C-alpha cells in the first residue's frame, strides 16, 4: 500500500472534468487507458487517471499536454477523426444488434423478470456482453483526447487568422467552428416542436410515441438509466413552453434563425479566407470536431442504454439490487454473469457507495475506499471568491437567481428565468435550458455543447469558469456579464 501511495503522490494530478457516472462505466474508461488506448488512438501514451464517485476526474497534467501535442498538425487530427467515426459506428451497430435480442421486459410493478436467463443460457449472455465491453473499450478510448483536440484546433486557427486583434480573432473563431451538421439534440428539438404544434390534437398520441421511441434515451444520458423520458416529461415541457411564450413556436424559430445567421456568416468568412487554404482546412476540421464531440458521447451513452436491462438481469439473478449495478466494474459483472454468484461482497459494494476513487495507474485498475487515500488527490477552490471569470460563449448581461446543476435530478430545480450553473451541459439538459435565462459552466471550449446551444438559443453564456459550481449556491443572486466573461455573486440565498 505504501508503494501505491507513493505512486499516487508522484503524479502531477490536475482536475479536468466532472462526470456523474457509475463505476461500471468508468471502469471501461480507466481500463482502456493502460490496455488499448495507445493502439487504438495512435497516441503514444498510457494516460494516468483518477475518478471519484462524486464525479471529479483528474488526469496527469503532463499526460494531457502530450495528448495535445499529438494533435500538432491537421493530418494527425484528420486521421484521428476517421478512426473515431469508424470505431464509434461499430459500437453503435453492436448495441443495436444486442438490443434486438430483447433480453428482458420490465413488469408493471417496476421489477425485472428473468426472461433472459430462462430463454438464453448463461454462456450466450456472457459472450454477448463480452463483445459489448470489448467494443466499449475501443469507443471509450476516444473520450478524453477530444478535449485536447479542441484546444489544439482553436490555437492553430487563432494563430493563422490574419489580424493582431485578439478580440476579432475570437469572434471569427466562434463563427468558423460552428457545426453545419445537425446533432441529435437539434433533431430532437425539431420533433419536439412538432409535438408543440399538434398538442391536444388527435395525432398527438401517435406523435409523442414516435418521439419517445427515438429520443426517450436522451433523458438517461450519462448512464442514468431510469431517467429516460416518459410522456409526462414531454407534456410538462410543452405546457411550460406554452406558458412562457405567447407564440409557443417562437423558441424554435429563434434557433433556426440564429443557425441560419451564423452559417451565413460562416460562408462569408470562408470566402474571405479562400486564398488561405490552411485556415479553410482547419475551419472544416473544427466544424467536424465540434459535431463529433457531442455525437461520439451520444452514441456511447445510447449504446449503454440499449443493453442496461441485461446488466439489471445479471445483478438480480445474483441477488444484488438494481442500484448495485452502478458499483461493480465491467470485469466483475462479467464474472457475475459467468458464475451466477455474488462475487463482490455487499460490504465492499456499500463502501464504494459511501466514497471511492478509481485509478488507472501503473498498468492497473485500482479502486480505493479508505477515507485517508481519498484525500491524497484534492481539487483546490477559493471559496471566498465573489468574482468568477470565464470565456464568453454568447454575449449578454443580466441578473438573476442561480440554480446549480450537479446531477441529472438537479435539472428539476430550474424555473423560468433562473440562471443555470452547471459543470457542463448535455443534450438531456435541453428542456431545462429552454427555461433558463443564461448558462454558466465549469468546463468547455469553443466547440462544446453549451457554447453551441447558447448561440442557437441566443442566451448569455459564460463557459470554462473552472469552479462556478463550487462557488455559487442555489438561490444566490448573481450578475452575468457575458460581454466581458465575468460573473459576480451579489447576494447569497435570496428569497422568492
Whether residue 200 lies inside any domain: the answer is: no
Same-domain pairing of 345 and 443: no
Altogether, the residues listed in the chain come to a count of 496
Same-domain pairing of 406 and 297: no
Same-domain pairing of 330 and 368: yes
| pLDDT the model gives residue 118 | 52
The span from the CA of 236 to the CA of 232, in Å, is 6
Same-domain pairing of 352 and 403: no
| pLDDT the model gives residue 385 | 76
Give the count of beta carbons closer than 10 Å to the beta carbon of residue 105. 10
The span from the CA of 210 to the CA of 334, in Å, is 34
Same-domain pairing of 306 and 426: no
* Listed residues 379, 396, 428: the one ending a domain: 379
Same-domain pairing of 355 and 419: no
Whether residue 39 lies inside any domain: the answer is: yes
368, three cell numbers? 480505493
Whether residue 43 lies inside any domain: the answer is: yes
- What are 421's strand-pairing partners? 404, 440
CATH code where residue 438 lies: 3.50.30.10
Would you say the pTM of this structure is higher than 0.85?
yes
| pLDDT the model gives residue 107 | 41
| pLDDT the model gives residue 10 | 93
Whether residue 470 lies inside any domain: the answer is: yes
Same-domain pairing of 327 and 392: no
Whether residue 169 lies inside any domain: the answer is: no
The span from the CA of 280 to the CA of 162, in Å, is 13
| pLDDT the model gives residue 493 | 81
Same-domain pairing of 429 and 366: no
Same-domain pairing of 42 and 133: yes
Same-domain pairing of 418 and 339: no
Same-domain pairing of 12 and 115: yes
Q: What order do you get walking across the sheet with 477-481 strand by strand?
A: 387-389, 486-491, 477-481, 397-405, 419-422, 438-441, 461-463, 391-394
* Listed residues 324, 348, 379: the one ending a domain: 379
Whether residue 273 lies inside any domain: the answer is: no
| pLDDT the model gives residue 495 | 67
77, three cell numbers? 487530427
Whether residue 366 lies inside any domain: the answer is: yes
* Listed residues 318, 344, 379: the one ending a domain: 379
Domain count for the chain, please give it. Answer: 2
101, three cell numbers? 435480442
Domain of residue 105, residue span = 1-138+289-379
Same-domain pairing of 325 and 434: no
| pLDDT the model gives residue 424 | 93
The answer to whether residues 173 and 61 touch, using CB atoms and an 8 Å cutoff, is: no
Whether residue 462 lies inside any domain: the answer is: yes
The answer to whether residues 156 and 47 touch, using CB atoms and an 8 Å cutoff, is: no
Centroid of chain to Cα 395: 24
Please report the sign of the dihedral spanned by the C-alpha atoms of residue 138, residue 141, residue 146, residue 151. Answer: negative
Q: What pLDDT tens digit does each residue of the chain (496 aa) get?
A: 778 889 999 999 998 888 889 999 999 999 999 999 999 999 999 999 999 988 889 999 999 999 999 999 999 999 999 999 999 999 999 999 998 875 544 443 334 444 545 545 678 889 999 999 999 999 999 999 998 999 999 999 999 999 999 999 999 999 999 999 999 999 999 999 999 999 999 999 999 999 999 999 999 998 999 999 999 999 999 999 999 889 999 999 999 999 999 999 999 999 999 999 999 999 999 999 999 999 999 999 999 999 998 899 899 989 999 999 999 999 999 999 999 899 999 999 999 999 999 999 999 999 999 877 767 787 665 656 789 999 999 999 999 999 999 988 899 999 999 999 999 999 899 999 999 999 999 998 878 899 999 999 999 999 999 889 989 999 999 999 999 999 999 998 876 5
80, three cell numbers? 484521428
Amino acid at each position: 500500500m505504501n508503494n501505491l501511495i507513493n505512486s499516487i503522490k508522484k503524479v502531477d494530478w490536475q482536475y479536468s472534468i466532472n462526470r456523474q457516472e457509475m463505476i461500471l462505466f468508468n471502469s471501461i474508461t480507466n481500463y482502456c487507458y493502460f490496455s488499448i488506448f495507445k493502439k487504438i488512438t495512435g497516441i503514444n501514451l498510457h494516460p494516468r487517471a483518477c475518478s471519484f464517485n462524486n464525479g471529479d476526474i483528474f488526469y496527469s497534467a503532463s499526460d494531457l499536454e502530450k495528448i495535445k501535442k499529438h494533435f500538432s498538425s491537421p493530418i494527425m487530427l484528420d486521421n484521428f477523426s476517421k478512426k473515431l467515426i469508424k470505431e464509434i459506428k461499430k459500437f453503435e451497430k453492436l448495441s443495436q444488434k444486442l438490443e434486438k435480442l430483447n433480453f428482458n421486459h420490465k413488469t408493471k410493478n417496476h421489477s425485472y423478470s428473468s426472461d433472459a436467463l430462462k430463454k438464453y443460457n448463461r454462456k450466450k449472455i456472457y459472450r454477448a456482453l463480452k463483445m459489448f465491453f470489448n467494443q466499449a473499450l475501443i469507443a471509450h478510448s476516444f473520450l478524453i483526447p477530444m478535449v485536447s483536440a479542441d484546444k489544439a484546433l482553436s490555437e492553430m486557427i487563432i494563430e493563422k487568422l490574419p489580424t493582431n486583434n485578439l478580440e476579432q480573432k475570437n469572434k471569427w473563431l466562434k463563427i468558423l467552428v460552428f457545426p453545419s451538421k445537425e446533432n441529435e439534440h437539434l433533431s430532437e428539438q425539431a420533433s419536439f416542436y412538432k409535438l408543440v404544434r399538434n398538442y391536444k390534437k388527435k395525432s398527438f398520441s401517435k406523435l409523442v410515441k414516435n418521439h419517445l421511441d427515438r429520443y426517450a434515451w436522451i433523458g438517461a444520458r450519462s448512464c442514468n438509466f431510469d431517467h429516460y423520458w416518459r410522456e409526462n416529461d414531454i407534456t410538462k415541457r410543452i405546457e411550460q413552453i406554452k406558458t412562457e411564450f405567447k407564440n409557443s413556436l417562437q423558441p424554435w424559430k429563434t434557433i433556426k434563425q440564429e443557425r441560419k445567421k451564423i452559417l451565413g456568416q460562416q460562408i462569408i468568412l470562408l470566402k474571405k479566407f479562400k486564398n488561405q487554404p490552411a485556415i479553410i482546412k482547419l475551419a472544416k476540421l473544427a466544424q467536424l470536431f465540434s459535431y463529433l464531440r457531442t455525437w461520439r458521447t451520444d452514441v456511447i451513452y445510447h449504446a449503454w442504454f440499449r443493453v442496461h436491462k441485461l446488466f439489471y438481469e445479471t445483478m438480480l439473478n445474483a441477488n444484488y439490487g438494481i442500484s448495485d449495478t452502478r458499483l461493480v466494474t465491467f470485469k466483475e459483472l462479467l464474472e457475475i454473469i459467468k458464475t451466477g454468484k455474488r462475487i463482490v461482497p455487499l460490504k465492499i459494494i456499500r463502501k464504494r457507495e459511501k466514497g471511492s476513487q478509481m485509478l488507472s495507474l501503473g498498468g492497473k485498475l485500482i479502486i480505493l475506499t479508505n477515507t485517508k487515500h481519498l484525500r491524497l488527490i484534492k481539487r483546490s477552490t477559493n471559496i471566498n471568491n465573489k468574482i468568477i471569470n470565464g470565456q464568453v460563449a454568447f454575449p449578454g448581461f443580466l441578473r438573476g437567481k442561480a440554480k446549480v446543476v450537479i446531477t441529472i435530478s438537479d435539472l428539476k430545480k430550474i424555473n423560468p428565468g433562473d440562471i443555470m450553473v452547471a459543470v457542463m451541459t448535455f443534450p438531456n439538459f435541453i428542456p431545462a435550458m429552454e427555461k433558463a435565462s443564461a448558462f454558466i459552466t465549469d468546463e468547455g471550449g469553443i466547440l462544446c455543447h453549451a457554447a453551441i446551444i447558447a448561440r442557437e438559443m441566443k442566451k448569455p453564456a459564460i463557459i470554462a469558469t473552472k469552479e462556478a459550481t463550487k462557488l455559487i449556491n442555489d438561490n444566490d443572486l448573481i450578475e452575468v456579464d457575458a460581454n466581458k466573461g465575468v460573473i459576480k455573486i451579489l447576494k447569497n440565498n435570496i428569497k422568492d
